[in-house]
Amino acid sequence: MRKIDLPHLDRAAFAGKYGPWAVIAGASEGTGACYAEQLAAMGINLVLVSRRQSTLDALGQRLAAEHGIEFRALTADLTEQGAGARLVEATADLDIGLYISNAGADGAGNSFFGEPVQRSLNLLTMNAANVLEAVHGFGNRFLQRGKGGFVIMSSGAGLGGQPWLVMYSSTKAFELNFVESLWAELDGRNVDIVGVAAPIMDTPTLRRATEGLGMDYSTAYNPADVCALALASLGKEPLVIVPDGPDEEKIPQIQADRKARLVALAEWGKAYTAAATA
């Protein structure tokens, strides 16, 4: 697998700011399980969310035994309207400090016109409406408690249009712009957000989607590395874009250019707001 040079992460400081509880939406396997492993190792308690109760229970029980954490398993279908708001309500009794949006994978090769329209609407609900609901609900709680953070798993497919991934690409682009905008709005408020334009990773989802196609999995990234990079970047960067695809040599410059543009727009917005309210 491809490797990532990981920056240092002060795990005690991370747990102090983003604990004592974290919610991981899409936690049953792959990157979600990697996030659960890494947060549990920091002593952060977990709310594990997916459609598979038994898988969540098994993961939570193992991490509780290994790290002494508490966990709660919540079943939810994030393609259903209102699922994001229900997660906020279901954790009202917990001191949540971190929300990780990790659901929303979609295999390549899906024709927009060749699939039922409901399939596209489900992706729109999962990757846009329910992300919006969860971030709005948890974000207001974080602002009230004075600290917190979000990790939004998007995709490199969101960096531009991609045929046969029309709705996936489109909704992942929404996530990237949503994160960048909130990163600027939250400046100075001690609530952090980072988006991840994830590359191809060697996950169970990828293996299932490419079974029998002869894919060389050594060209994929280790999902644990991508998760570690995201956690280390929270509070430092608006977006993490992992080099991948036909233009991967340009990715560092693309990431830098997007941040420079965002910072410039944020400064313009502050000046405009100050002038408008003067």
Catalytic residues: 168, 172
The three-state (H, E, C) secondary structure of the chain, written as one string? CECCCCCCCCHHHHHHHHCCEEEEECCCCHHHHHHHHHHHHCCCEEEEEECCHHHHHHHHHHHHHHHCCCEEEEECCCCCCCHHHHHHHHCCCCCEEEEEECCCCCCCCCCCCCCCHHHHHHHHHHHHHHHHHHHHHHHHHHHHHCCEEEEEEEEHHHHCCCCCCHHHHHHHHHHHHHHHHHHHHCCCCCEEEEEEEECCECCHHHHHHCCCCCCCHHHCECHHHHHHHHHHHCCCCCEEECCCCCCHHHHHHHHHHHHHHHHHHHHHHHHHHHHHHC
